[in-house]
Amino acid sequence: MTDTEIRVKGIAVLSATLGVVEAERFVALTMREPFDYTRWQQNLFEDRSVAEISAEATRLRKSRAEDADGYAEEAV
pLDDT by residue for the chain (76 residues), tens only, comes to 899 999 999 999 999 999 999 999 988 988 887 778 788 888 888 888 889 989 999 998 998 888 776 655 555 4
How high is the pLDDT of residue 20? 93
Q: How far is CA 55 from CA 20, 43, 50, 51, 61, in A?
A: 29, 19, 9, 6, 10
In our burial notation (b when 16+ CB lie closer than 10 A, e otherwise), range 1-13 reads: eeeeeeeeeeeee
pTM of the model: 0.46
Could you tell me where the beta strands, DSSP code E, fall in the chain?
A: none
Domain limits, the chain: 1-35, 36-76
How high is the pLDDT of residue 75? 52
